[in-house]
Structure formats: structure tokens, C-alpha cells
């Protein structure tokens, strides 16, 4: 399984864009990049998934460069309710959660 | 319905007790998972069931015994647990285990072993 490295924590303010970069140098050809969000005492929630280039959905964008050794989750115009732990996962079968990034949004 | 339900929400058990955690989904998913999450740590995969057959056991101690009676239901039987087994136990499901896939997680069962 490819190991991922993310910042431990990030602070932001309401209305700002938050970008979280994940490093996965050993990503394999079959691996997809997936991001999950988790609030305290709840199960993780799928945010977005991609293989290469850019993927966008109603809540986030995922940017993946051509070498796929890193990826960036972009959360546009965050609100207080976006305060959570964000996990970057790279897996071809099993989900292996790394330490995650705690994002704190302040008013 | 994109919900995974887990019961009970909270469970306190002694080290000699036998209890079970239950997980249910009605999304027609054919893969189901158990995770363990300690406080301020990421979830750790314990078991994976694919088409009702155990496909992955992440070297979990035998005091945890999973069971998949049918495609909608997943149980985790607990026996002779230790205090260090206290954690949030998460169940998840996905359409199958073919990449790429999205896992849907339940809210978890908060287990305390006394």
C-alpha cells in the first residue's frame, strides 16, 4: 500500500479556500486517490476520488499532477461546519487511513 | 437509502462478557468492513467481507469474531476483551471491492471494556 503524508493540522477562516496537499510517492498504477472527511464520533464520509488530472464535485475539487506523486484537495469557501479531520487515501483494494489533517475553521 | 446503521451506539462490557455488534445496510452492497478507531487516531481495518465471504482478516485477535449472515448484515462477536480494546468500532459497506469504490460508513459503536 502506498504511504501518504499530509499536514497534521491547518487553520482557516470562514469564506476562505482551503487546500490540503497529500504526498504519495509510491503510488501504484492501479491506485486511486480518495479523500474522506470525519467529524468527531462519526464515521468517515467520502468526499471525492480521482485517478489523474482534476476532479470536481459539489463540495470539493481534487487536483492530481501528471506524475501522481501528490494530490491536493481544495475546499472552496469553507464554513465552521467544515471543521473536521480530512484523510487522503491511496489504495487499490484496502482502505488504509493515514494520520489525516485536522482542519479548523474559525469565524 | 445510503445509510449504514450500527447498533448499539454505546456498549459497556466486562472482560468476561460476550456481546455482539450489529451493522446493516440496504444499498445492495456486496462488500462490508469492520474498522477499529482509537481516540485521535485514524480508523484501522479489521475485516473485509466480499459477497458474504471473509476476504481479509488484518491479523485481528480471535476474541473478535466477524460474521456475515447475509448480504445486508454484518456482525462482530466479542468475547473476553481487554480494556485496550475500548474504541469506536466502525462498519462500512461498498458496492464491491472493485477499484475504484466508495465506502459508506456507519456512525459507529462506542465500546468500553471494563
Looking at the predicted structure, is the pLDDT value of residue B3 above 80?
yes
Interchain contact B97–A (C-beta under 8 A): yes
Phi-psi region of A29 (alpha: psi -120 to 50; beta: other; left: phi over 0): alpha
Question: What local confidence, expressed as pLDDT, does residue A3 receive?
Answer: 84
Q: Which residue of A has its CA nearest to B43?
A: A97
Q: How confident is residue A1, by pLDDT bands cut at 50, 70 and 90? A: low
Q: Any idea how long chain A is?
A: 107
Tell me, yes or no, if B69 comes closer than 8 A to chain A by beta carbon.
no
- CA distances to A32, B26, B28, B58, B94 from B2, rounded to whole Å, are 22, 8, 10, 27, 10
User: DSSP string spanning A51-105?
Assistant: SSEEEE-SS-EEEE-TT-SEEEEEE-S--GGG-EEEEEEEESSS------EEEEE
Grid-cell match 484537495, residue found: A73
- In terms of Cα–Cα distance, which of B27, B1, B47, B37 is closest to B94? B27
Hey, which bits of B14-108 come out as E strands?
18-25, 31-37, 44-50, 53-57, 64-70, 73-79, 87-94, 104-105
A102 and chain B in contact, CB less than 8 A: no
Inform me whether the pLDDT recorded for B85 exceeds 80.
yes
Task: Name the pLDDT band for A95 (thresholds 50, 70, 90).
Answer: confident
Contact B99 A92 (CB under 8 A): yes
- What does the mean pLDDT of chain B come to? 94
DSSP, collapsed to helix, strand or coil, labels residue A6 as: coil
B47: nearest CA partner in chain A: A94
Max intra-chain CA distance, chain A: 41
Alpha carbon A33 to chain centroid distance?
9
Strand partners, A91: A32
The sheet that has A9-13: what strands, in order across it?
Answer: A9-13, A101-106, A84-91, A32-38, A45-50
Q: Is the peptide bond before B15 cis (omega within 30 degrees of 0)?
A: no
pLDDT digits (tens, 9 = 90+) for A6-49: 999 999 999 999 999 999 998 988 889 999 999 998 999 999 99
Amino acid at each position: 500500500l502506498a504511504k501518504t503524508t499530509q499536514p497534521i493540522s491547518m487553520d482557516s477562516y470562514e469564506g476562505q479556500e482551503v487546500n490540503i496537499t497529500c504526498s504519495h510517492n509510491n503510488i501504484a498504477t492501479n491506485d486511486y486517490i480518495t479523500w474522506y472527511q470525519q467529524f468527531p464520533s462519526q464515521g468517515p464520509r467520502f468526499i471525492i476520488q480521482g485517478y489523474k488530472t482534476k476532479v470536481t464535485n459539489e463540495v470539493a475539487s481534487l487536483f492530481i499532477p501528471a506524475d501522481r506523486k501528490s494530490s491536493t484537495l481544495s475546499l472552496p469557501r469553507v464554513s465552521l461546519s467544515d471543521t473536521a479531520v480530512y484523510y487522503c487515501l491511496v489504495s487499490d483494494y484496502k482502505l488504509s487511513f493515514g494520520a489525516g489533517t485536522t482542519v479548523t475553521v474559525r469565524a | 437509502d445510503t445509510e449504514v446503521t450500527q447498533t448499539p451506539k454505546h456498549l459497556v462490557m466486562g472482560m468476561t462478557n460476550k456481546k455482539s455488534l450489529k451493522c446493516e445496510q440496504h444499498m445492495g452492497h456486496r462488500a462490508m468492513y469492520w474498522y477499529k478507531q482509537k481516540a485521535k487516531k485514524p480508523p484501522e481495518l479489521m475485516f473485509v467481507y466480499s459477497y458474504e465471504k471473509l476476504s481479509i482478516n488484518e491479523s485481528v485477535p480471535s476474541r473478535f469474531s466477524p460474521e456475515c449472515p447475509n448480504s445486508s448484515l454484518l456482525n462482530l462477536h466479542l468475547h473476553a476483551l481487554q480494556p485496550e480494546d475500548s474504541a469506536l468500532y466502525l462498519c462500512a459497506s461498498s458496492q464491491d471491492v472493485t477499484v475504484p469504490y466508495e465506502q459508506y460508513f456507519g456512525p459507529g459503536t462506542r465500546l468500553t471494556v471494563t
